[in-house]
Structures are given as structure tokens and as C-alpha cells.
Amino acid sequence: MEKTKDDPDFWNDINTLRDPAYTEFDPDDLVGLHDILKETVDGLASLISVRNQAYRRDGQEPPVGVAISGDYQLAVLHVLRQVDRVVQEQAANAAKIAGHQGASYPKLGAAWGITRQSARLKWPDAVPARGQQTHEPIPLAYAGGTAAIHHDSDADAWWYIADGADGRHEECEPVHTTSTDATAAATAFLIAHTKRGVSGL
């Protein structure tokens, strides 16, 4: 069963890369994607096409044959340029997030259908160099209390800061080897410092 936000290990699970990360498309799904994209591009091209705008000013719907005119296809090409720009921006963002969560350049390249060398050239900042990786704090709520799991880059170790439901506060030293160990320690602290009658189970 997949974890929910109520589970103490939810954020640790979110920050753990699954392998494989995806399944291949069914051919019918790709046909559907093609149809959706074509419909969207045609709609935008019709909007900016000077020829179609002229028809609409005359109170007419552009005839179907307009779509084969060279100037209309130039409008299509212009739309596709914008689509490509958006795709490239989204791809760069996805690659950076995946890379900072532990995905390697071979994995990024495989997802995009290119070699790892090409992936490194395409997204040079996606995968942090060893020793420069950054980790977002992992929030934790359990047994009525809250905590945040942090990584100390200098010590290359994990630590936590926690507030129990009974008001007890703790900030440990960076002594945990993994985020899982730090999360387990923070969870134990929160369980030990619940209000009477409060349980995380």
C-alpha cells in the first residue's frame, strides 16, 4: 500500500528514487497524445492565422481547405515553436528536480531518449557534483508533534529539529548517516513526547 501524508515515512519515500521510474506508453496512448496535441496546435494556429482572422472579421467560419495554405502552415509552425519552448523549459525543470533527487545522467538520458553525454550537455546543472548536493528539509508530523529532517553538507550527515506534542523541543547533532535514520530518531522522539491520550497510530 502506498504511503499517505499521515505516514511518518511519507517524505522519506517521496525523496527516494524508484527504479524503474516509469513504464513505456501503450501505442494507443501515443495516438491519443498525438490527437490532443494536433487539436491544440490547430486551435492556436487558427487563432493567430491572418487568413482565418480575415474570415472571422467577415462573419464567416474559415473553410476546412484553409488549413492547407502555406501561410496557415506558417502559423502552425510558429505555434509549434512556442510548444517546443514550453516543452524544453518543462524538461529542464523535470531533469533538475530528478537530478537533485538522485537521478544520474544515464537515467535522465534514457528518459529523454539520448545518451548520458548528451544529457549532461543538455542539462549541465541537473545533477549536482558529489559533495555539492543540496537536500530540502523533510517535514514530519507524528503523534501530535512536528519535526524537520535536515542534511548537514559539511558533516555529510543528517539531523533533526522536533517539537513534541507535550511542548518538549529537541535539536540533535548531525550524527545520522541517512535521512531514514534521522527520520526514525525524530519519530521516536515524537512518540516519547506525546500529550496524554494522543497517539500517532
How far is residue 22's CA from residue 31's CA, in Å, rounded to a whole number? 19
Domain ranges of the chain: 19-122, 138-192
The 10s digit of each residue's pLDDT in 54-100 is: 999 999 999 989 999 999 999 999 999 999 999 999 999 999 989 88
**Degrees (nearest 5) of the Cα angle 63, 68, 74?**
110
**What is the pLDDT, as a whole number, of residue 152?**
75
- In DSSP notation, 83-99 reads HHHHHHHHHHHHHHHHH
**Average pLDDT along the chain:** 88
The 10s digit of each residue's pLDDT in 88-126 is: 999 999 999 898 888 888 999 999 999 888 898 899 989
Strand blocks (E) in 43-177: 138-142, 145-152, 157-163, 169-171
**Closest to 45 (Cα-Cα) out of 21, 26, 13, 70:** 70
Q: Is the peptide bond before 124 cis (omega within 30 degrees of 0)?
A: no
**What is the pLDDT, as a whole number, of residue 200?**
47
The 10s digit of each residue's pLDDT in 123-174 is: 998 987 655 556 778 899 988 999 999 887 667 788 899 999 999 999 998 8
SS3 (DSSP) at 175: coil
In this prediction the pTM is 0.62
Q: How many residues does the chain have?
A: 201
**What is the pLDDT, as a whole number, of residue 133?**
52
How sure is the predictor about 12, in pLDDT bands with cuts at 50, 70 and 90? confident
